[in-house]
Amino acid sequence: MNQPTPTNQLVLVLDFGGQYKELIARAVRGLSVYAEIKSGHITAAEIKALNPIGIILTGGPKSVYLADSPKCEPELWGLGIPILGICYGMQMMCHMLGGEVSTADTGEYGCVTVTPLSAGPPFSALMSHRDRVTRLPEGFCVTSTTESCIASCENREKKLYGVQFHPESEHTNDGREFLGHFLYEICGAVGDYRLDDYVSLQINEIRGTVGKQNILLALSGGVDSSVCASLLSKAVPGQLTCIFVDHGFMRQNEADEIEAVFSKRNLRLIRVNAQKRFLGKLKGVTEPEAKRKIIGEEFIRVFEEEAKKLGKIPFFAQGTIYPDIVESGGGIHGATIKSHHNVGGLPEKLDFEKIVEPLSGLFKDEVRVLGRKLGLPSKLVNRQPFPGPGLAIRVMGEITERKLEVLRKADAIMREELDRMRTKPSQYFAVLTDTLSVGVKGDDRTYEPVVALRAVTTTDFMTCEYTQIPHKILSKISARITNEIPLVSRVVYDITSKPPATVEWE
Ligand code: XMP
């Protein structure tokens, strides 16, 4: 993982299992202060060694008074480093320092009015809790309240601050100002984090590591691997080879577009047309997890075969980004619903001297900004998330070339129409269901799969709401799909949120 440059001030975000840890770190970086997420179990000695200017404790799903709820080391409170506890973080702070936390009969979920006790008018803030602080530890005072709880508290002398609400959420009015006040007025931040500095540091590091040798990258055409390829071709021009495995599950024209963009860059692009091979392996396979597994394994096999033809290449690059590292860091997690397979995983049989991950300190939106700076087309940089196994998990049941063809067309129509919306959903696509339905086209009876449309709005994809697309647009998509694709005669719109559904149908 990338450490901050020696010149960067650092804020630590300690994870206690809350959903918003990345949002917190990203909000801090958005305020020009470098933030890293660490486990809530980090020791006080490790913290001291990192020398942060401030610490933020995240929320978490447990009750602080349960024996197995995560707790920080008690030494933290006496380090003299300013600490802001958010939600569970505030409850843990108060509980560990002698205050009292209890569970109320009803929770506060959603936007709630918070009234400051001294300065400022009431404001609206996002709350998501049932436990609340009912007695403060000695030396603390209440700074704001809601109708039913202490909304914030502080012990200025010890530089300890707690908020029950979520200042990192866009639903909290002036949440950014609140965080900015903590960073700049309390922690003494100077605002020395800039994306450009990060990039020049990475370019120097890549040059130092790779020298005059060659480096290999699995290019998927997704935002991360594309930006990674562009950064590497800038850092070590002519030394990068990209292997782009076309598994045949890309969207309409996508594989050609990727080839067109990267064949203009200062790198060597190898496109492997492996469509038939993947389809062959998936013959008769209907179960989603089995599809993911087969595609993942086959991908690595194809990649290895191609890489071996190139002879020894000492370095292997990956477009790993910061949330990938945070999510796989063994923190305090929930259940695994899907084995999110990212095509482009590390081939085990190839013997590389070193793995290079130049984006591993960046959040997704920072990667997009970097992509724009590197001159990638906006269509690629703003690409909505697309699963590694691609359309294979959007053709329900067994995959055939014909079904893929139908889905590609339906999906292209859906995206073309929604691309025109001013505020676009976070992700939108078509699914070819495995339900056959009777229709009538001309004088003929049809009996073909139903096409489902999916569009969701979310910030983190862990939860999402289905997007309320205007009926006019839905009608147009439906009419176009049934008119332009022979045999498709039924289109439905998915109106479930996550949970209980997931974004993808498989
Ligand atoms: P779900 O369906 O789990 O999707 O609600 C959440 C987000 O993850 C994407 N997704 C995947 N991405 N490999 C990926 O790289 C996968 O196997 C995979 N499955 C789902 C999905 O498109 C959505 O953005």
Q: What are phi and psi of 408, to 5 degrees?
A: -55, -45
Residue type, 141: C
Mean pLDDT calculated for residue range 246-253: 97
Query: Residues 457-485: pLDDT tens digits?
Result: 987 787 899 999 999 999 999 999 999 99
pLDDT of residue 334: 43
Atom 7, ligand 1: which residue's CA is nearest? 461
Q: Specify whether 304 is catalytic.
A: no
Give the closest residue to 86 by CA, choosing from 1, 156, 6, 175.
175
Task: For residue 458, give both structure tokens.
Answer: 């979310």
3-state secondary structure of 52: coil
- The CA distance from 175 to 72, in Å, is 25
Contact call for residues 54 and 11 (beta carbons, < 8 A): yes
Q: What is the dihedral of CA 389, 390, 395, 401, to 10 degrees?
A: -100
pLDDT of residue 335: 45
- Is any atom of ligand 1 closer than 6 Å to the C-beta of 341? yes
Q: Please give the distance, rounded to the nearest whole angstrom, from the Cα atom of residue 271 to the centre of ligand 1.
A: 24
Q: Specify whether 166 is catalytic.
A: yes
Query: Residues 419-432: pLDDT tens digits?
Result: 999 999 999 999 99
Please classify residue 468 by burial: count the beta carbons closer than 10 Å to its beta carbon, then call 0-12 exposed, 13-18 middle and 19+ buried.
Answer: exposed
- The CA distance from 164 to 143, in Å, is 11
Active-site residue, from 95, 129, 166, 247: 166
Whole-model pTM?
0.81
- 456: pLDDT strictly greater than 60: yes
Query: Residues 116-142: pLDDT tens digits?
Result: 998 789 999 989 889 999 999 999 999
Q: Please give the distance, rounded to the nearest whole angstrom, from the Cα atom of residue 115 to the centre of ligand 1.
A: 40
Atom of ligand 1 nearest to the CA of 504: 2
Atom 3, ligand 1: which residue's CA is nearest? 502
Contacts of 82 (CB under 8 A, 6+ apart): 53, 54, 55, 159, 160, 161, 182, 186, 187
- Is any atom of ligand 1 closer than 6 Å to the C-beta of 358? no
- 347: pLDDT strictly greater than 80: no
pLDDT of residue 278: 98
Q: Which of 164-173, 223-232, 325-334 has the highest mean pLDDT?
A: 223-232
DSSP string, 345-356: PPPSSS--SEEE
- Is any atom of ligand 1 closer than 6 Å to the C-beta of 503? yes
- Is any atom of ligand 1 closer than 6 Å to the C-beta of 427? yes
pLDDT of residue 406: 98
Give the closest residue to 381 by CA, choosing from 231, 254, 221.
221
Q: Specify whether 417 is catalytic.
A: no
Q: What is the dihedral of CA 1, 354, 359, 222, to 10 degrees?
A: -130
Active-site residue, from 36, 72, 87, 94: 87
Atom 4, ligand 1: which residue's CA is nearest? 503
Q: Please give the distance, rounded to the nearest whole angstrom, from the Cα atom of residue 105 to the centre of ligand 1.
A: 36
Sequence-ordered alpha helix ranges (H) in 40-98: 44-50, 88-96
Q: Give the chain's mean pLDDT.
A: 92
Q: Please give the distance, rounded to the nearest whole angstrom, from the Cα atom of residue 424 to the centre of ligand 1.
A: 19
Angle between helix axes 254-262 and 223-235 (nearest 10 degrees) is: 10
Mean pLDDT calculated for residue range 487-496: 96
- The CA distance from 72 to 88, in Å, is 12
Q: Please give the distance, rounded to the nearest whole angstrom, from the Cα atom of residue 433 to the centre of ligand 1.
A: 17
Contact call for residues 474 and 493 (beta carbons, < 8 A): yes
Mean pLDDT calculated for residue range 357-375: 93
Query: Residues 58-72: pLDDT tens digits?
Result: 999 999 999 899 999
Active-site residue, from 22, 36, 108, 168: 168
| Helix, strand and coil in the chain, % to nearest 5 | 35, 25, 40
Give the closest residue to 127 by CA, choosing from 143, 101, 148.
148
- 374: pLDDT strictly greater than 70: yes
Mean pLDDT calculated for residue range 340-369: 80
- Is any atom of ligand 1 closer than 6 Å to the C-beta of 387? yes
